[in-house]
Amino acid sequence: MSAEILIIDDNPDIRNIIRDLISESGYKTRVAANYSQALKEIDKKLPDVAIIDVKLDKGDNDGIELLTHIKKKNKDIPVIIISGHANIEMAIKSLKNGAFEFIEKPFDQDRLMNFVNRAVENFNLKNENKELETKLFHSFELIGNSSNIIKIREQIEKLSSSDSRVFILGPTGSGKELVARKIHKLSKRKKSPFVVLNGALLDVKKYELELFGEEKSNGSISYGSLEKATGGTLLIDEISEIPFETQSKILRVLTDQKFKRINGDHDVKVDVRIICTSSKNIINEIKLGNFHEDLFYRLNVFQIIIDPLSKRVEDIPLLVDYFSNKISNSYNLKKLKISGDNSYLINHTWPGNVRELRNLIERIAILANNNNTDKISTIIKESIKQEEDEVYSESNFSIPLKEARENFEKDYLTTQLKKFGGNVSKTAKFVGMERSALHRKLRDLGVKDLN
């Protein structure tokens, strides 16, 4: 399918030159002559690539505003910025805001087409990777022998014959959506739609539109997630991100089992199972006034809690082996030979949880597909060090020195205890402390016995 390029420029001559040039290369085109038209075209349908003049009719930098608007909707869409008033500051500002390329007027036509061709290739490649990741994700199993994963499997089994609402709690990347999909797959609704509404990614003004849909003035209907999921399951991912006012309307839907579309006069009945997820502490969010208490108790009929990967270290070797097989098959590569009990993997805190581990295995598959043991070990060390440096930088440079020192001591001693299987005597000898002194230190830092 031919890519579609949106051309936004208030100069009709330049607009037509670019349109003809791109059309001759086999791409579809749409055009907008001012800021207002551009917004309508972007909101109507996102292009595959956009070419935007910096200065339109709204102000000196309205092209940058349009760039930001596109990136909020889909950060992967390449945007080429053009300007007749170019300077280094303008170029830097464009690139910092996510522009794919910056080109000055008058521009060389071959150079512009080179940018366009590369932008289309870039967009297509990202889409292909997303499709591959989606296929991988949908086929993933809930892997692990930890008590937490065993309990979750039992909970999913119990929920298969029920239509109860479910609230899934767990940190980012721990597999909340995967658990929701497993529940749907085993339920009586499995042949009906499974629809995901991501509360963290929506524009604040569009929550209700996405949920309830809209009846337009021309008589057409835009269906929301509640109707799209009719007969099936609606997963509201990161529901704690949804505005308080909209939460009240969701509560009303759960109470009345019906709703009205935006601009609609007639009630639409609800036949959908709702599953919600959150990576935040919901009870704390209720206390802070960010989440509707009544809504929580309506949704929290059955609760599933997923522990962070750092609390179920015994699952890491199984996950490494599973992802190695899965990703090797997907990329048509030899089976990756990665040791799941690698100390770097076991002792890492995994802030990104299972998703971070899966991404690491995929990185190894791409960069070390000849199964070079040293290369694999280097990738693991470098990836984990980079992740830990970022986490350390974010968490420790915004707190007092005393707290930072305590955090370091806690992480250091916990890691050493893991290394020695929870043996305090061996750990004390290694770190150069008396056993009784280490016991006191661990107690003061709140480190629990690992045995």
For residue 169, give the amino acid letter. L
Hey, what are 423's tokens?
């043996």
Per DSSP, the three-state class of 274 is: strand
pLDDT of residue 131: 60
Look at residue 30 and give its three-state secondary structure. Answer: strand
Do residues 22 and 9 touch, judged by C-beta distance below 8 A? no
User: How many helices and strands in the chain, by DSSP H and E?
Assistant: 19, 14
- The two tokens of residue 255 are 């109470």
Are 86 and 108 a contacting pair, CB within 8 Å? no
Mean pLDDT of the chain: 83
Q: What is the average pLDDT across 24-39? A: 91
Run of H or E including 120: helix 109-139
pLDDT for 281 beyond 80 = yes
pLDDT in tens, 97-114: 888 988 888 888 888 999
Question: Does 270 or 277 have the greater pLDDT score?
Answer: 277
- Residue 393's pLDDT is 46
Looking at the predicted structure, is the pLDDT value of residue 378 above 90? no
33-47, 57-71, 234-248, 266-280: segment of lowest average pLDDT: 57-71
The dihedrals phi and psi of 32, each to the nearest 5 degrees, come to -140, 140
pLDDT surpasses 60 at 232: yes
User: pLDDT at residue 195 above 80?
Assistant: yes
Reply yes or no on whether the pLDDT at 165 is more than 90: yes
Q: Is the pLDDT score of 25 beyond 70?
A: yes
**Residue 372's pLDDT is what?**
61
Q: Percentage of residues in the chain with pLDDT exceeding 90? A: 34
Q: Which range has highest mean pLDDT (120-129, 168-177, 426-435)?
A: 168-177
The lowest-confidence range among 94-98, 207-211, 401-405 is 401-405
Looking at residue 27, what is its pLDDT? 92
What backbone torsions phi and psi does residue 328 show, to the nearest 5 degrees? -60, -45
Q: What is the average per-residue pLDDT within 184-210?
A: 85
Tokens representing 213 are 């849909």
Q: What is the per-residue pLDDT for 86?
A: 60
- The reported pLDDT for the residue numbered 392 is 47
- Please count the CA atoms within 13 angstroms of the CA of 288 that sit on its side-chain side: 10
Comparison of pLDDT for 397 and 186, the residue scoring more? 186
Cβ–Cβ < 8 Å for 78, 100: yes
pLDDT at 406 over 60: yes
E strand or H helix at 6, and its extent? strand 4-8
Q: What is the DSSP string of 289-352?
A: TSS-HHHHHHHTTEEEEPPPGGG-GGGHHHHHHHHHHHHHHHTT-PPP---TT-HHHHH---TT
| Mean pLDDT of the region 102-127 | 86
Residue 188's pLDDT is 92
Neighbouring CB atoms inside 10 A of 70's CB total: 21
Lowest mean pLDDT among 39-43, 242-246, 373-377, 407-411: 373-377
3-state class of 7 per DSSP? strand
User: Which of these, 46, 106, 43, lies nearest to 79 by C-alpha position?
Assistant: 46
Q: What is the pLDDT of residues 310-356, one digit of tens each?
A: 899 899 988 988 888 888 877 777 777 776 566 778 878 888 899 88
pLDDT value of position 363: 82
Most confident of 136-140, 336-340, 430-434: 430-434
Q: At what angle do helices 35-44 and 62-73 cross, to 10 degrees?
A: 10
Lowest mean pLDDT among 166-180, 328-342, 413-427: 328-342
Q: pLDDT tens digit string along 57-98?
A: 876 667 888 998 898 888 889 999 998 776 667 777 788 888
CA 223 to centroid of chain Cα atoms = 24
CA distances from 215 to 103, 222, 228, 229, 255 (A): 42, 6, 15, 18, 23
Between CA 249 and CA 239 the distance in angstroms is 13
Q: Which domains does the chain have, with CATH numbers?
A: 4-134 (3.40.50.2300), 143-307 (3.40.50.300), 310-396 (1.10.8.60), 401-445 (1.10.10)
Residue 369's nearest CA partner among 330, 342, 311, 316 is: 330
Indicate if the alpha-carbon torsion angle 403, 405, 408, 414 is positive or negative. negative
Q: What are phi and psi of 29, to 5 degrees?
A: -135, 150
**What whole-number distance in Å separates Cα of residue 116 and Cα of residue 238?**
36
Which pTM was predicted? 0.57
Mean pLDDT, rounded, for 192-216: 84
348's CB contacts (< 8 A; 6+ apart) are 310, 384, 387, 388
- Closest Cα to residue 36, out of 53, 22, 20, 57? 57
Most confident range, picked from 11-25, 86-100, 394-408, 435-449: 11-25
pLDDT tens figures, 388-402 = 555 444 444 455 666
Strand bridging mode 221-222 / 214-215: antiparallel
Per-residue confidence (pLDDT) for residue 395, from 0 to 100? 47
